[in-house]
Structure 1
Amino acid sequence: MNLLFSNDRRGEYPQSWYAETADPLPPFPVLQGTVKADVCVVGGGYTGLSAALHLAEAGLDVVLVEAHRVGFGASGRNGGQLGSGQRQDQFTLEKMVGPDEARRLWELGEDAKALVRDLVARHDIDCALKPGVAWAATSADSADWIHRYAAHMGDRYGYPIEAMDKEAFHAVCPSPAYCGGMLDMGAAHLHPLRLALGLARAADDAGARIFERSAVHHIKEGARVTVQTEAGRVEADHLILATGGYLGGLDTNVAARVMPINNFIVATEPLGDAAKKVLARDVAVADDLFVVNYFRLSEDRRLLFGGGESYGYRFPKDIRATVRKPLSQIYPHLAEAPLTHAWGGTLAITMKRLPHLARLGSNVLSASGYSGHGVGNAVQAGRLLAEAVRGQSEGFDTFARLPTPVFPGGGAFRSPLLVLAMTWFSLRDRLGI
């Protein structure tokens, strides 16, 4: 199944609140005929756009090809949370890779947030960037763990996080489902599609050549790489694969390690003054469940709520019903609230929930598998890919050293096995074990 065309209309953004509230760029041309470049980037999400921008600013001739529109995939549909560190917490990373490498990964995570903020400011990207992400605990044991983690981050990393008991957390997020948590004001939230469009505009202004509605169906490696689309081809010295969950069969090595999964978001009608019953402060929230609930208020005071379960590659027929169930558990008073928008998207995860950056050949690089932490990771990965092309690979190599095991069954049978695993973990959530 080709996920590029399984759930969406060709060349169109989904009917999301994000697409409705972003000013689209004029369409970039379709690739036709043969085009030559120093670097070809496949994929017009955060990773590819950031790579193209940084390469073009460094004076390289770069061509980016996108199957639909820039920002079409997860980069334009996600929850908009710019989180700290990596997808895995520092306790886990210290055990996984040791304290020194864990600290380096933390520093890279801080650099990723700084990079996003710098790009937004430098290129005047209107993406409603605001500080604050809260972690919500659904049990007393989880709240205790979160409080220990906040203390650890202050003691070992010098990073301030506010630990909150149940009463303090409810003063920020008055949901009866939560028992406490913590507030990270160094993290942030934003309008993800506007960020993607801003990066595309900046890359175009820097001289990158962007082609849309130009799906890649074949790659031939060699001293020069040939990237074949439906109506043209690119010949380049270097290739960057930045496709996220839409890789398909372009590289079997990456496909065995990076799994596409779907996630879903709904938007309520504007809540007005009642928004204070949802969030008393303008911060984003993510909870501790395996099937994470994540939410924040939009600029017009809607609740943007992500969650729900769907384990096939097809979107469910009724996304509203899929997401309404967890929404009503977190906010019972919104169980019947009108939902004006509902959309799905495909992201990429890895077994370790850490990015997969890899050298696939002497002149082929890849980055994907951000596992729900892609706003910062992906923008940063684009810069790291650009630096690696130019021979500066320290940051790239730090991520490339991370363990990225293949999914059981590799690319052929990973989906049914993932269904079984995800079903078990979601059952644990419901049973509270």
Structure 2
Amino acid sequence: MMKERFEVRHIDLAAANTGAESGPALSIFWWKDLPLGTRASLQDELPYGIPQLRQLTAEYAAAQLEARSISLGAPLRATYEGWPKRALSLEAALKAEDLIESLNEFAITSSASAHDISVVICTRDRGPALADCLRSVAAQRSAPGEVIVVDNSSDGNAKDVCGQFPDVQYVHEPRAGLSRARNAGIRASRLNIVAFTDDDVEVHPGWTAEIARAFADRDVEALTGLVLPARLDTAAQRCFQFTMGGFGTTFVPLTFDRRFFEETRPSGAHVWKIGAGANMAFQRSVFERVGMFDERLGAGAAGCSEDSELWYRLLATGGACLYEPRAVVFHHHRSDWPGLKRQIRAYMKGHVAALVAQYDNFGHRGNIVRIGKQLPVYFLKTFVKALFEGPPGRLAILAAEIQGWLAGLQFLLRLGWRKRRIAMRAAAADVKGIAK
């Protein structure tokens, strides 16, 4: 499946639009503006027939009805596996007279105003990609109250790009590190909701409106959304999406709360399942309550996982995070193998560093269990499976993961690094009183 270029196709089932069938494709199914699911198909499996599209519509509608219907107990809450047990059978859904009506209701375009949202985009040496990202933010149906670009390059080379967008506030943070850049964005922001995306992302026209609707409808402190691939032209991009799982493929809303945290805490609390930093938002009160991003973590520092570590603190102290796939962004995956391997190595290194930080902050031994037991078992199982079943390139990616794990083990021994814990009160003081 990874040898051929895959076209990313968007199919609106409400319009019975199957798209052009010219080769292998990852089909992303929608009902108007409501994302429903994906399906990877080779050329001989296309085009989709009308009966097949009807069956897919019924399956997706059943999942959406169960997840979003208040009468069925929505919102669903995440379980240990990260997916709630299905309560509504497909047979029962097919008998429901209002199945399509429900889809139409769930797909209603949000009319919520994004005037209280600060959008923060951190960038480093990606001028053309940043320009594409800013164009997508400028095309929002509901314009955010402010857009802040934090330039994390040493020479401030993103300033000229930002100058092309008169409503963008430019902030230069020359100290390397994504967490430092994100914290600089928080300090520069003035509104009650702070939303983050990355410079290698283009956002859906309804992104900010869906963030606003989600916070208005749900009593949560944080939000994540759906991250879809923008292109799958290269083998590296397809490996990240199909073999490594991309940034997740869940198309129904889920609430991650204290129950999920307690169920997964013995094995390290699976907070990475909550979402991705490329599509997340927070109530400003979160930073006042639990602090900002740990500047020891993230790209430019330990590697990554500064987002999941913040979610860990939020859940550990009684908060909740909503995953709402109606808030959609499109991510440009790494296109070359060396870049992908560096990314995977950094992901694993940062993951281990975050586990160490979480253990130091809360004393939860599940974090150490994951480092010393669960990850080695995962490596062994993956090696055996890749050796006999493939896919091509999986062993090279596994090697990068193991290298990242080994690099991350250093943080267990770096006592000076471990003593530099989050200054909760100081971080909270940085943002108190900023909100309007």
| Same fold? TM cut 0.5 | no
Normalising by structure 1, report the TM-score.
Answer: 0.30
Normalising by structure 2, report the TM-score.
Answer: 0.30
**Higher strand proportion, which one?**
1
- Give the structure, 1 or 2, with the largest relative contact order (CA under 8 Å, sep 6 or more): 1
